A = this chain, B = another copy of it.
Amino acid sequence: MPAPLRFRLLDRFLVVAMLAVCACSRGNAARQLLDASPDASPDPLPSWNEGRTKSASVDFVARVTTPGGRDFSPVERRIATFDNDGTLWPEVPIVQVAFVQGKLKAAVAKDPTLAQRQPFKAALAGDLGYLVEAGEPALVELLGVTSANMTDEQFGREARNFFAEARHPKFGVPYTDLAYRPMVELLEYLRAHGFETFISSGGGMDFMRLVSKLMYGIPPENVIGSRLKKEFRVDGERPVLWRTPDIAAINDKETKPVNIDAHIGKRPLMAAGNVRSGGDIAMLEYSQPPGRTSLQLLVNHDDAEREFAYGEKNQASLTAAREHGWHVVSIKRDWRTVFALPKR
């Protein structure tokens, strides 16, 4: 980023921050409540600018955790589900697509004819249009070469290598350095108030589980995602799970509530997703039955300087947010810090 741009951005943040400090009083009751607790720091969400989204989150947590309050929710009902790509880490490129492309390049080095055949050609070129058109059979072919026909343990080794070696094309750091700092703070804040936090994402379940604890403090058993069919086999003396290329579950749109139910058996009290494909609308709706206090956040990528700026073709997510009263998180305005990147 050129230096003048960075300064202009900083100016704008300072102005917004000062306005927010003057205008915002809604979060006070909640903050006083937190201040009464000896462990609470004065601001549990320092990477969030003051404003409506932050105060709505703090108010929500105060309301559902204040004993005797009208909106009090016992600990066992404090379930929060977060999408991953574009909600907890960047999706330009989709990290797992970068992994698959790397695996494909290695396969092409062994068999150069692969690069001339579909769907491999499209995948190497990042031609998502072709892949969406070609649908599940193409995906199965791709997964067969890159992520299946091996044991879970082998897949784990290969994905760990990717996370150790690959660098993000824009930021030049490992993908595991790119958790959104404000969302990590929010996850920690929720857990400190008795919430159990889950990921529910279209990403591959096994891929995410390798880094979810390290990046977000979310253990593997709290990660719901897309997955392949596996077979139990005994390989010599060793009982293993074999990854077939067939798809067992795609976790997206209307299947997110269904898979959340299958995994947790409880309706989330809070859900967060992002604007791009409409993939989180059903999950956010599911978390908001009438007559119950709940919280829905929808991240909008509007910060080309610090992250990326992109929208959604049919505007379905933002339309749903307006209709249902969900909180739209503007990365530009709401996040003081986007990443906690090491100084270089």
Q: Which residues of A contact B (CB under 8 A)?
A: 76, 152, 196, 205-206, 209, 213, 219-221, 223, 227, 230-232, 234, 237-239, 241, 248, 254-255, 257-258, 261-266, 282, 285-286, 288-290
Question: Which B residues touch A213, using CB under 8 A?
Answer: 76
Contact A232 B220 (CB under 8 A): no
Contact of A261 among B152, B234, B266 (CB under 8 A): B152
Contact B231 A254 (CB under 8 A): yes
A269 to chain B, nearest CB (A): 14
Contact B205 A265 (CB under 8 A): yes
Nearest to A238 among chain B residues (CB) is B289
With A232-B282, A262-B227, A263-B263 as contacts: A241 and B257 at CB distance below 8 Å: yes
Contact A258 B231 (CB under 8 A): yes
A260 to chain B, nearest CB (A): 9
Contact B264 A232 (CB under 8 A): no
Contact of A237 among B76, B239, B290 (CB under 8 A): B290
Nearest to A290 among chain B residues (CB) is B237
Question: Which B residues touch A237, using CB under 8 A?
Answer: 290
A54 to chain B, nearest CB (A): 26
Contact B239 A285 (CB under 8 A): yes
With A241-B261, A257-B241 as contacts: A266 and B205 at CB distance below 8 Å: no
Contact B254 A205 (CB under 8 A): no
With A221-B263, A227-B262, A265-B220 as contacts: A257 and B239 at CB distance below 8 Å: yes
Alpha-carbon distance A234/B289, docked complex (angstroms): 10
Alpha-carbon distance A258/B223, docked complex (angstroms): 16
With A239-B257, A286-B239, A290-B238 as contacts: A265 and B230 at CB distance below 8 Å: no
Contact A221 B257 (CB under 8 A): no
Contact A265 B231 (CB under 8 A): no
Contact A257 B282 (CB under 8 A): no
Alpha-carbon distance A288/B239, docked complex (angstroms): 8
Contact B221 A261 (CB under 8 A): no
Question: Which B residues touch A248, using CB under 8 A?
Answer: 262
A208 to chain B, nearest CB (A): 9
Alpha-carbon distance A213/B248, docked complex (angstroms): 29
User: What are some 16 contacts across the A-B interface (CB < 8 A)?
Assistant: A196-B221, A205-B265, A220-B265, A221-B263, A221-B266, A227-B262, A230-B258, A230-B261, A230-B262, A232-B255, A237-B290, A238-B290, A239-B257, A239-B282, A239-B288, A241-B258
